[in-house]
Amino acid sequence: MVDAIDGWLKETDGGTKPRAASAAAKEATEAPAAAAGAGTGAGGYYYKDMSGAAKGPYPLAKLLAALQNGAFSGKLPVSADQVNYVALETLKDAEPAKDLWFYRDPMGESSGPYSAEAIKKAIDGGSLGAKIPVRRNSGEEWAPASEKLEL
């Protein structure tokens, strides 16, 4: 089943149109992920199949379309860097070109990407502190969430 989905992702724009159908459709699908991936997996996002093998990279828009179409579970592990995996559903509210964030936990480990909204909810719920260091990509300096996100 996962191989069939992998084939679908490669052959479509994440919806119902074949990739070759229009250059504009291809650009519209790939450009947001390329912008989101700058410094965090510039080629897009990977997912783990049932054997644990990484598949991809794919534009985030395609993976989210597969989630919306029911081809993937929201719990599907995805990653921009093939190291830090998160559930696909945590990225569904992200605006790919600007709203993907990482935070550094108290042990110094990077976690993410998450939407800004997901980090704000974790802060509001008490799971994370407002001073937790955050950044958008590896090119940015870490800074407290209270300075970077509109809390």
pLDDT digits (tens, 9 = 90+) for 30-65: 333 333 333 344 468 899 988 989 999 888 878 887
Q: Quick check: is 116 in a domain?
A: yes
**Per-residue confidence (pLDDT) for residue 134, from 0 to 100:** 93
Residue 94 lies inside a defined structural domain of this protein:
no
Same structural domain for residues 105 and 33? no
* Whether pLDDT at 142 is above 70: yes
Q: Is 64 within a domain? A: yes
State mean pLDDT over 85-95: 80
Determine the Cα–Cα distance for residues 13 and 21; give it in Å rounded to an integer.
9
Q: Are residues 51 and 83 in the same domain?
A: yes
Give the model's confidence band at 72: pLDDT under 50 very low, under 70 low, under 90 confident, else very high: confident
pLDDT of residue 147: 94
User: What region, left, alpha or beta, does residue 44 occupy, with left being phi > 0 and alpha being psi -120 to 50 degrees?
Assistant: left
Residues 105 and 42 in one domain: no
- Going 87 to 54 to 44 to 148, the CA torsion angle's sign is positive
Residue 19 identity: R
Report the pLDDT value the prediction gives residue 61, as an integer from 0 to 100: 79
The more confidently predicted of residues 145 and 24 is 145
- Decide which of 47, 62, 89 is a domain's last residue: 89
51 plus 114 within the same structural domain: no
Question: Given this model, what pLDDT does residue 95 score?
Answer: 57
Domain that holds residue 135: 100-148
**53 within domain boundaries:** yes
Are 118 and 63 in the same domain?
Answer: no
Res 146: pLDDT: 94
Measured CA to CA, the distance from residue 131 to residue 33 in angstroms comes to: 28
The neighbouring-strand residues paired with 117 are: none
What tokens appear for 94 in the block?
A: 């992200």
Task: Select from 89, 130, 80 the least CA-distant residue to 110.
Answer: 80
Q: What domain count does the chain have?
A: 2
Please tell me whether residues 81 and 105 are part of one structural domain.
no
